[in-house]
Amino acid sequence: MNQERFEKPSHASRENKKPFQHHFFSSWLRGGMVTLALLLFAGVFTPFSVTAVTPGPVIYLPVISRGGLPLPPPDEASNRLSVPPGFAIRIYASGLPARPRLMEIGPDGSLYVALLDAGKIVRLPDRNQDGLADGVETVINGLSGPHNLEWFDGFLYVAQNDKIQRFTDANGDGLFERDPSFQIDLPGPLGHSTRTLHFGPDGKLYVSVGSSCNICDESGPYTASGYDPRRAAILRYNPDGTIPSDNPFRNASDTRLRAVWAYGLRNSVDFTWSPSGQLWASSHGSDNLLDSNGQPDTLPPEELIIPVQAGQSHGWPYCYTPVSGLNNPPQPEIRDLRMPLPAGFTCAMAIPALFTGPAHAAPIGLGWGPNSEWPAAYRDDLYLALHGSWNTNNPANYRDCKVERILIEGGAVTGSMSFVNGFRAPGQKCGDSSSYGRPADVVTSPRGEMFISDDKSNRIYRVIYTGQ
């Protein structure tokens, strides 16, 4: 197991700290371009052109920000989307052939993306180091609804809508072949169809599986006959696909329950680990719970940070966290009166969220700030892609599709603020055709780049810190 992987809490392969060689930058210096070196010392490059002595093409060099990261010229994303002062956003790749969902930085430093509808894993390299993807390279094809991927112990694991498989590139040609000796079968794509995997600090494989319904008697050991207890849950396996000896239900008579680590999570699309090693997950609350105005707009609050506990319920479908924002001091979960409680269960037994957001915010991918280049205040925070609402009725309750910055101090959640916004047209829903995009995931590279996938406009954005 790569010991560097968990020095900072994050998805395992997102913390590959192998140094990056800036080929384009070093070659400029080796070429004796003293003027460029002096500009670098000053901290900022601005766009300019170099014309040959004899007539020839004009070469436009990219803006170079602090740390030597390239910044392409302004584009429609930088004109439309807002980022905090000192940061810049550009389109890294556009026109992808299908919806990009969760991403990872590979061992080679390239960005890898799961294309959900195309059944592909693609690589988006930037070999010439200009801040733009060189192209879309398919590395795995023929998958069943791939949602995310992660490297572990030399294998590339891929979560699909009904299974986990792993792959290797044994001959180093950049294409990955499936390991036929390994497969974990999962509940099929009914209701919530995406599956997400990550390896934890303990070296175990964790897999989230959403519910088959909006609200139904389907959750862990309380699952009624006819439902699969692996749904609305986070599962836990050994890397070889076997059941760990310390799983809470390892001796259950229902063999499907043995993989369940935690339950009562309606649709935990992504999860991560806190600075102290605590498993944190977000989850989508159920729809059509009416508030005091008879509207489905404000309940239940979206549970953005849930401290997942082994063997415990996290509320759904019977209970939810009623607090808006920080749940500190912790308030217990309360009843969702649409569902009768099963025998022996009360809402006091459910684990409440640490932090919530507006109902129907729709949290998708999570990513930690980069280890370098960004100001210290931003590095230890957690960044969450919010897909935004489609089913709120009152325009005042339409939720933004954006990247939210979850503030972390001393290892604890203290609040949140917008980090990237502007995807939704005023007065319009995120799911409407008028919206510019809908963020689906956030991942950062070791050298200080943040990549954001957009599964509405089929783009990838890149955010860097410029200090300007």
Which pLDDT tens digits describe the chain residue by residue (468 residues)? Answer: 333 332 334 444 443 333 333 333 333 333 333 333 333 333 333 333 333 333 334 344 445 545 589 999 999 999 999 999 999 999 999 999 999 999 999 999 999 999 999 999 999 999 999 999 999 999 999 999 999 999 999 999 999 999 999 999 999 999 999 999 999 999 999 999 999 999 999 999 999 999 999 999 998 999 988 899 999 999 999 999 999 999 999 999 999 999 999 999 999 999 999 999 999 999 999 999 999 989 999 999 999 999 999 999 999 999 999 999 999 999 999 999 999 999 999 999 999 999 999 999 999 999 999 988 899 999 999 999 999 988 888 999 999 999 999 999 999 999 999 999 999 988 999 988 889 999 999 999 999 999 999 999 999 999 999 996
Q: Helix or strand or coil: residue 29?
A: helix
Q: Specify the pLDDT at position 93.
A: 98
Q: Specify the pLDDT at position 288.
A: 94
Give 3-465's CATH code, choosing from 1.25.40.10, 3.40.1440.10, 2.120.10.30, 3.40.50.980: 2.120.10.30
Tell whether the torsion through CA atoms of 158, 218, 341 and 215 is positive or negative. Answer: positive
Whether residue 11 contacts residue 104, with contact meaning beta carbons closer than 8 Å, is answered with yes
pTM of the model: 0.87
Q: Specify the pLDDT at position 224.
A: 87
Q: Which of 132, 110, 208, 194 is nearest to 160 (CA)?
A: 194
H/E element holding 376? helix 376-379
Q: Which of 155, 4, 83, 58 is nearest to 404 (CA)?
A: 83
Place of tokens 């935004």: 388
Calculate ∠ Cα 165-167-173, nearest 5°: 155
